Structure 1
């Protein structure tokens, strides 16, 4: 029984265990079903998530804490051009610009610090705008939202970045900002003064032009009313009320009136446009006010000009007529009566024939007028009236706005006297005691007078039809004479050597005139005067004058020099006679005696000298000449004068006589020393210069070419204008008789001219002097010259306040600046410059000031303007070197100076450099 019970209990336990196991199996199956449902839901959610991530317009990126990419949405390809694999391998260092990279790193470092201190906000999201690279290297703007991913314990595990392309938005923002800036710029810089006032006339707002026009401050404007403070109109109250009613109805009303400035009550003309507009909750009136004072003055001047023109036409000695398309007269001036005998009023509305003019005049004028209508070009015709009067008529087409000829103006001039002169010229052509030749544009003789037989030995028939080269010794000579005679840079008169029929050489003065008065295309008249005998006499006279001058000079030198030599040799002989040959100084004194005797021999040679001096020319480095003379020059000028040498860089060689150039340098330094008896500053400066055609047009003393410039500048007493005109004349001197012969500067001038150079002086009384010596360089190349000529001339459109007291220089500088495009405000002196700046200060971009001016100098003007505007830019002008300005004015470091005379190109370059300086 016990065994059976045991079996039953075991069986029951087994059944319970099986039941429990079945229950567990059921629970597992239920859990499996739930888990499968969860897996399906999760897969569905993940599919949706991946769909959203794959099709979002933004780039979604997940980074680990080392900023390596864990996940990247496919939209990166559409936005940046990279595949997911390519973009995942790139670091933020490669993706971002340096500025954006620094911005991102700073944010990450800040978040890490907060995390380390436990103060980080787990829900914090950072948004920033960054620039990132596309695959093609271009940049795009992205708006990036950064948030940090945490696990269930709140620990950082990664970074979620959602980026959106905002390039178009940034572009639109920039465009909007630019548009706003442009609108504000237009408002502030418009030519019109703009008011906004309420319906009672109280000013609410106005632009800068309004403040400038009425010369008031913004505070004054806001406290003012349009009618009471600014208006001075002469119209009636009814007219003003009618105008205001139209404005209130929404019309734009324009009218002219007299305005006044509140501060001084001055009146000026304005053109006004009023328009009612709504700003928010209240209506206001927008007023555009334009200053038309100048226009009014121009209209008045135009009316006066028209009246003057009519007066000129009415009183002209020419007959002036205006024809319509049917040849009917619209206007004739009073002079028509003198030529036709018919009153002017009888012509209006009629043809010449209908008015009763001579038949010959009617026929010729009808043909000429019709031709002008058909061709549309200016025409000329000559004809003779029955009474013998010759007329020269010019017919000028008058066009309408479409360009069609609507009328023809005829101006007829009486040329009877001219025709008579032509007949007289034919008589004089043969009677003149000069060889007169007419040649065509190919230099072929078409007519010669009989006097050519006496000059050239040829009969007229032997010369006509031939080129002029048979009258010269070579084709090269013929070509050179032609180029010189017809060159626009030379006079139409030239002395040349020519060949007679018998081969004899003659000296001829050729004069050239154009038959058409303009150029050689219509042929030329050449007048040849045989001056062989005169040239021989002139040469003899010059030689005699030169000998006389040299003899006078040599005599004066020999007289004084021999007196000195006599003293030297006399005392030397006395000492030698008193001592024995064994004395240790005997040999030295004998050398002194020999030197004195050699000097006496040189004096005798000077007295015997009468032949023309020959220059020993050769390539010469002017810097080397100055350097070699330094010791002597320092002794020569004395210790109380400061000497500075400014050698030019890469100075070109000149073809010159070294001794003569040394004499030029010494004479100029001695002249400077004598101008500074109490000491001062002397500067010797060399540089390469190029004088172009434009510079020489405005400086008639200059010749185009490449030169080495030697400048001697002193801070001495200077010279007035009358003295400067005479300083190069022989024997002219401002010194006492015992302190100079007046030959120093005359010698300098002669040497410079003999070297084909030029010399100019710039000086003012009490302000020092500057001598500029231009010596032509040797071994110049065409390529170098062409390269310099092709250097461009910058220009600009800024406003320049220029002060120059010399009227010709002021006009010239103004024209230079205007041609380059600048606006110029010209002042006659320092006080005038300050006045102009007070009126136009806001417009002035740069000051161009002469250093020395009456009333106030350039430095004083600059200092006073700089006190008002510390940022003002300035360029000084002076006839003194930048490193050798006279002691009355020394430029501060950093200020710029351009030396007179200057070139348009150098001035324009220095102006541009100053205006573009940041």
Structure 2
């Protein structure tokens, strides 16, 4: 073959090869296209499955961001797909579920890092997740971890299934099992579980009540030997047992024995073979029938008594057959109808001569019971005027068919009269009464709704009780309370026709006696005035509590101030006025005196100041204060005094009355920064019982009323509620302590008086102070005694338990020239007195001391020395030397903190007082 043919042959082979390759390419293309179509079909199928699955499918990347979620999340959890894609784990899961997820993720990542993780692993958790509405949903969540070809973890496929109902079912199952166990242990019967050989496998707790042994004792006992009486037919028991093993249920009566005391009693035993779990057992129910046996024994006697009871019943009793003829009638029918009982037997209602209309009604009602088989009740009136409440009860045979009717008739003539009386009382009672149906619509109301709610009866009938409430919420809450099973009369706020509120005490009673479906009667008592009184009582209790606190603080603070002032006085007496420290010490003294004044205000508010009462003329008191008042008020306030004529004297402490007047005037001045008018008026006034009945704050009696009126800025109601509280003030911090009006309040109340405030914003204020009149026939005029010069040479027995104060007081007395016998407590004071009785000229006693108080020491010494002079010291002390903080006659008291000169002056006064036996 030449070169040309060879080249031609090669060309043909190349063409053939190309054709083959083209054919293979076309086949590859067709196969690729087929694979693409198959892949698309598979993708479509799986997307359809994913989009329509009942579970939620989610895909997370390794940053735990959601990159896909199936639409079923909207149906199951309420989120849209877009919302779910943006949820973080914190938003998706409650804390406990979030903790479990993170714990699982940490474990998986550790497995990945160690290379020991199974690439096809799946983890399943049961977790609670949030729904869109914030509620929680139980879900079973399966986590599958996906990897790329290199084996690297690329994401997590999560399939979540709603198991909320399953969880509820599991919980219900647990509760059911618990309930069954409770029923097992609390059934009326003792229950034994035996194996097929008769051994006890289990028993319930009831056997302890029936047999007197514990469950543990029963499990170790033998039924025949320990729980059975010796004369029981054991052969019969063996036969019964075999029949039970063959599948019969056997019930028999047995004489049982209590193992602990050997006593016998009757039981009924039921034996049944059952499968318990995977094991066949014999279940024995043992019921104590001792009472039943006694009841059976008594049944014959009861049946014998039956006729006696029926014959002597207060109700007429009939028995009627299918033809409406009387089979029986007891003697009471003659009392009600005037017809002897034997005349009824075998006759119908018509045969007895009753009116046709009454007979027709009777037959219709009787036939209805034979047809329906249900009891009926009705009321009717006999021709003689007697009202009968009639019950007709079906008597049925074993098949449930009515064979006769028992009718009982009760004479309710008196009840009908009472019902008529009730209608009268319904209108006459001073209470708002309302009958409502099952929907709380008013169907009957009495006339007393008008004064309480402002509605006439015709305005309420047919309307919902919602009309009387301020809001739907209050109406709903009242309904829940009224119709609660444990309802007792309660207080409710209702709305009058004019829109004002009224407080009522509301009670209810069901018309059918059982539930609200048949309607209710609602009774409302107006307690608005009582609520006002309760609020006043709460305010008074609050003030009393604050007073006790304030008094306690003042008492302890007085002892501290006594040391400060006392030592300051001693040092001042020993320092020359020209000394450079003298001025500083005077400032300390001034500060101590201000603090002492503050404690006196606290004591005044808390009503723990010791008062020295006597007849006081308020007109004279006000007149004596005029110069000071004009100086305090300033020139831009016009002061007018309106004294009452022939003003009665009040029983008061003159110094405390000064404090009341000054504090009220200063308060009025501060309410008029730009000037104004202030008036002080006094007058006699008598409060009678009628006035006090309409004014809760008032008490009957004769009073002097002092009225202080200003033209200042006035107060709103919220401010007036607090003005007498200590440290409450509307002024700037640097303008007072807030104790002025609190002091006034305390002084007035301690004097058994009353104080009332009337004020409006922009219209000024008026304070009325009522002080009780001095009813004493002898008017003791309080005159200020001349104070003798302090100091002396007498011997003073001083008892003070506080060591610094004892040392201080001893120094003050010694510096004044007195001889001092110091005692550390009451018993020590008595000991010192016994040793120096003839030398002691005066007792200086702290009221409250350990072991024995100052008053007790004084009383014991006075037994042997009746005229012993005594001066008491105290911050304050209830019922020690006074009653209700009014100083007892003949006793002298100096209140801490006191100045040295005040103590020495009072000592000198008492030492110079003539003794009664001289």
TM bin (shorter chain): 0.3 to 0.5
TM-score of the two chains, using structure 2 as the length reference: 0.35
TM-score of the two chains, using structure 1 as the length reference: 0.35
